[in-house]
Amino acid sequence: MVRSGTAQSKPGLPRSLRENTTWYETINNSSDIYRRRFLSALLIAGLFLPLFVAVLSWQSGESWNYLPLLAVEITLAAGLVASRLLPQRGVNILIGILLAAYPPAYAWGAFAPGNHQTYIFVLLCMPPIFDNLAPQRWYWHWCAYAVSVVAAVSFSSMFGAQSAWVTDFSPRIVLMLHGIFIVLWALRFVTRLQLRNYIAELADNIVRDKATGLPTIVAFRDAVQREKKTFVGLISVGNFRELSALFGYSISIEILSIAASRLQKMQEHLNGKAFRLRGHDFGFIREMAVGESALDVAHSVQSGLTGPIVFQDKTIELSYRIGYTVIADGDAEKALDEAEEALDMAEENGLDCAAYSIFGKKATEAEIHIADLMTLSRNVSNKTMSVFYQPIVSLSSGKTAWNEALVRFLGSGESYEEPTRFMELASTTGHWAAIEDFMFERAIAWACAEGGSVSVNIALKDLDREAIRKTIEAGARAAREKGSAIILEILEGDFGSASASRLQALKGLRDSGCLIAFDDFGTGYSNYSRLLTMPVDIVKFDRSMIKGARGTRAEATLLQGLIRFCYDIGALTVAEGIETKELADFATDVGFDFGQGYFWSKPVPEFSAVSAERTMLIAGKMARP
């Protein structure tokens, strides 16, 4: 079973999200249509009653009644016309007046002289009228108001106040009539409550995805429409098909749940909203602050999503792609189309994320590059990059043998970003040398202070610059005096471009006390004979080799052979990308000297890095741990 990112927590949808959907509003509006019809029917019925009373009054010779009856007829007729013609808001006001006028009318009906039985019957119908007409928001206010007036009038007339009740009915009849209506009202109330719960449940089923607990595309459309300037991202699990094919249906459910639970966390962290749109695609929206970069938001979402999961005792990396756009007109369909187009572009170009652009593919890539380029230039000119350190741990003693210095760039979101794409950009934009100078200056200072041995990544082309050679030579000497070593990590593939002068320079640096490490050994154009021809003290095996060797016997045999070979030529071996205890045990078993990976520590800033054991790697003297 999956151990990380559990799928258990599926909190219900917030009420605002459910009720802010077109779907829910349509139901509510249609109930408003019924309210309007009920109002019209009430007014039509009301028009006949004064006529009926007029006839009664005429028969009993109460001619003084005609004038108020006429006024009532005119008012009711005007109300009827208005209820048919007014817009929704106007109808609400009319209903408000009607409901407010009913209790005083009730009082008038009860206390006015003369025979008003018919009115009183109508007025007794008030509870159902309230129930049908009162707008949801005002329901309880009207109820409280009406009930208190009716109760006050009824009690005062029953207990002595001179009223039509006393002349027309006995108190017992009044009590009975009220009782009947209260029971009817209560029944009606319960039904109404049940109906509301039923609608809410129905809405929840439509608006909430059962598998992930996230709101669906229905809510997505409405949420986008309600926002102003919005980041709209479409997120796809990149290797979903491959993983489903490999592990079957059960993993697809787990992948969805894990992606959803990570997105749920991100909602709080980034103050955005996540949705499950369809299949294995998710949506993420977030209102953009002034001056905020959409690319930064996309990167934050991405970094929040990434991370390994363990399924059936195998560590699996989920890869995510994001296509995004920024809209300001609330057009959800357009936003979806644009984000989808961007996602397609990301897929076609093998990018992790891509922005929608009206200029198409090239502009999209350019846009990302420009944003990256700006971050890079800002970092180099303001020297805001930072050095993170990751320990290389002795597999026998568990102690830190040295730390690898890794550059980090300050993004516009004030978080430090990983270097690969910036370094690629730096090599073509003239920023490379400044970054390497910065890294060596800082790493050497740390090694000489208290950090112990440090390895720094370097490209062979850097060795063409005399300035950096001098810095490294002096640094290596100073570090050696403190009992530490400076290790140069060179990508194994980089040796393909090695000129004689560069190799000479490298040998010179080694003579001055540096150690040379082959980085990411086993990737790219691996040529194992380089181990014999190049000066090498440490070989860092790429994580793909270790993972591969765990899977097949042939690769395991090859790995063991290579480790044995390194041992024979006196080179120390490091297993890279160790993320789990199982991998660490495996690396120990196959004979690696050291390990590096998230299992021990991710790269961390200098202030939280653990200094290396000085006794373990003494400059110039290599010691197996």
Query: Residue 417 touches which of ligand C2E, Mg ion, none (CB < 5 to 8 A by kind)?
Result: none
Q: Give CA torsion, residues 159, 160, 161, 167, to 10 deg.
A: 110
Q: How is residue 624 written in tokens?
A: 């197996």
Closest-CA residue to 385 (of 410, 406, 405): 410
* Residue 187 backbone phi and psi in degrees, to 5: -60, -45
CB atoms within 10 A of CB 441: 14
- Does 522 interact with ligand C2E (rule: CB under 6 A)? no
CB atoms within 10 A of CB 574: 30
In the numeric block, the tokens 């509006």 are attached to: 29
Return the range that interacts with ligand C2E (CB under 6 A); candidates 45-53, 155-163, 347-355, 452-460: 452-460
The answer to whether residues 66 and 51 touch, using CB atoms and an 8 Å cutoff, is no
Size of the site for ligand C2E (CB under 6 A): 22
Q: Give CA torsion, residues 187, 193, 194, 199, to 10 deg.
A: 150
* Residue 354 backbone phi and psi in degrees, to 5: -145, 145
Query: Residue 390 touches which of Mg ion, ligand C2E, none (CB < 5 to 8 A by kind)?
Result: ligand C2E
Return the range that interacts with Mg ion (CB under 5 A); candidates 181-189, 195-203, 282-290, 514-522: 514-522
> What is residue 524's three-state secondary structure?
coil
x-or-dash string of contact with ligand C2E, 406-425, rule CB under 6 A: xx----------xxx--x--
* Closer residue to ligand C2E, CB minimum distance, 135 or 308: 308
* Closer residue to ligand C2E, CB minimum distance, 203 or 423: 423
- Position among 263, 270, 578, 587 found at the interface with ligand C2E (CB under 6 A): 578
Cα 93 to Cα 96: distance, rounded to the nearest angstrom: 5
* Closer residue to ligand C2E, CB minimum distance, 150 or 516: 516
Q: At what angle do helices 88-111 and 139-158 cross, to 10 degrees?
A: 10
Closest-CA residue to 460 (of 528, 400, 411, 509): 509
- Position among 338, 436, 462, 489 found at the interface with Mg ion (CB under 5 A): 489
Query: Residue 619 touches which of Mg ion, ligand C2E, none (CB < 5 to 8 A by kind)?
Result: none
* Closer residue to ligand C2E, CB minimum distance, 232 or 439: 439
Report the nearest approach of Mg ion to the CB of residue 455 (Å): 7
Sign of CA dihedral 73, 74, 78, 81: positive
- Does 475 interact with ligand C2E (rule: CB under 6 A)? no
- Does 254 interact with ligand C2E (rule: CB under 6 A)? no
Residues 552-581 that bind Mg ion (CB under 5 A): 576
Closest-CA residue to 118 (of 135, 137, 133, 105): 105
* Closer residue to Mg ion, CB minimum distance, 83 or 457: 457
Report the nearest approach of ligand C2E to the CB of residue 216 (Å): 33
Report the nearest approach of ligand C2E to the CB of residue 578 (Å): 6
- In this structure, are strands 273-278 and 230-237 parallel, antiparallel, or unpaired? unpaired
Query: Residue 423 touches which of Mg ion, ligand C2E, none (CB < 5 to 8 A by kind)?
Result: ligand C2E
Strands, E assignment, 346-425: 353-355, 386-394, 400-410, 416-417
CB atoms within 10 A of CB 388: 20
> Taking the mean position of all CA atoms in its chain, how far away is CA 338?
19
- Position among 79, 109, 475, 577 found at the interface with ligand C2E (CB under 6 A): 577
Sign of CA dihedral 128, 129, 132, 135: negative
* Closer residue to Mg ion, CB minimum distance, 281 or 576: 576
- Does 519 interact with ligand C2E (rule: CB under 6 A)? yes
- Position among 372, 492, 519, 593 found at the interface with Mg ion (CB under 5 A): 519
- Does 457 interact with ligand C2E (rule: CB under 6 A)? yes
Cα 88 to Cα 94: distance, rounded to the nearest angstrom: 10
Residues 579-608 that bind ligand C2E (CB under 6 A): 579, 596-598, 603
* Residue 184 backbone phi and psi in degrees, to 5: -60, -40
Query: Residue 603 touches which of Mg ion, ligand C2E, none (CB < 5 to 8 A by kind)?
Result: ligand C2E
Report the nearest approach of ligand C2E to the CB of residue 568 (Å): 25
Report the nearest approach of ligand C2E to the CB of residue 613 (Å): 20
Query: Residue 407 touches which of Mg ion, ligand C2E, none (CB < 5 to 8 A by kind)?
Result: ligand C2E
Closest-CA residue to 188 (of 203, 180, 25, 100): 180
Contact residues toward Mg ion (CB under 5 A) are 457, 489, 519-520, 576
Contact residues toward ligand C2E (CB under 6 A) are 390, 406-407, 418-420, 423, 436, 439, 457-459, 489, 519-520, 577-579, 596-598, 603
